[in-house]
């Protein structure tokens, strides 16, 4: 990867692109799985280091914590929207629910993008802290739902199925289609 990075960088191209292309080239090699397995612990160590560096950016204040909580309060609407969209695409109620529960929290990828934004000067450190706290709270909040997703589905199964049936009543489908076109 370093060789690909340096080669592309030496010819005035983005080094990241060189590392990516070299990774694609060696991904089909018979030993690539062994290499990935041996680099896994290194990757985990780097990830822990990244999260520690984000945490060391500053101490959260009351407004930062309140803003993060405000963002987390939006998550039920996001989860319901995922359930609605996947149901609308014709997935079964159980699949839609499991999908919504899994996708309903904030992603750590957002934290990586926010850290990049801070390093480039697009975001302030306070927003990085807001996003870090929101991601942490969303993970802690989503964990019990993820663990008990099957029980949640079984308990409210008839409601989920009824919701899906209502979505697929022909008159309603026509109305939704007409409304979306205009």
Cα 66 to Cα 8, 30, 36, 70: the distances in Å are 45, 51, 40, 6
Total Cβ atoms within 10 A of residue 125:
14
Same domain? 88 vs 54? yes
pLDDT exceeds cutoff 50 at 32: yes
Same domain? 67 vs 152? yes
Same domain? 26 vs 45? no
Same domain? 46 vs 26? no
pLDDT in tens, 94-113: 888 899 999 988 888 888 89
pLDDT exceeds cutoff 70 at 169: no
The structural domain count of the chain equals 2
pLDDT in tens, 110-132: 888 999 999 999 999 999 999 99
pLDDT exceeds cutoff 60 at 41: yes
What is the band of 87 on the pLDDT scale with cuts at 50, 70, 90?
Answer: confident
pLDDT exceeds cutoff 50 at 182: no
pLDDT exceeds cutoff 60 at 179: no
Question: What pLDDT is stored for residue 14 in this prediction?
Answer: 82
Same domain? 46 vs 25? no
How many residues are given for the chain? 182
Same domain? 68 vs 139? yes
Structural domain that includes position 14: 1-30
pLDDT exceeds cutoff 90 at 70: yes
What global pTM score does this model have? 0.70
Same domain? 11 vs 62? no
Q: Is residue 54 part of a domain?
A: yes
pLDDT exceeds cutoff 60 at 93: yes
Same domain? 22 vs 75? no
Same domain? 15 vs 87? no
Same domain? 150 vs 102? yes
Same domain? 81 vs 135? yes
Q: Is residue 35 part of a domain?
A: no
Q: Is residue 56 part of a domain?
A: yes
């Amino acid at each position: 990867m370093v060789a690909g990075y340096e080669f592309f960088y030496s010819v005035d191209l983005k080094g990241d692109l060189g590392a990516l292309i070299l990774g694609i080239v060696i991904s089909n090699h018979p030993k690539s799985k062994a290499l990935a397995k041996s680099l896994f612990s290194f990757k985990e160590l780097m990830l822990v280091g990244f999260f520690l560096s984000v945490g060391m950016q500053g101490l959260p204040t009351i407004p930062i914590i309140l803003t993060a909580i405000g963002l987390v309060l939006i998550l039920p609407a996001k989860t319901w929207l995922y359930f609605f969209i996947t149901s609308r695409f014709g997935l079964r109620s159980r699949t839609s629910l499991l999908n919504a529960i899994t996708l309903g929290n904030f992603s750590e990828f957002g934290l990586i993008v926010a850290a990049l934004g801070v390093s480039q000067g697009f975001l302030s450190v306070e927003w990085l802290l807001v996003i870090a706290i929101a991601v942490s709270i969303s993970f802690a909040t989503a964990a019990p739902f993820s663990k008990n997703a099957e029980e949640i589905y079984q308990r409210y199964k008839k409601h989920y199925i009824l919701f899906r049936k209502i979505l697929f009543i022909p008159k309603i489908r026509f109305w939704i289609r007409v409304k979306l076109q205009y």
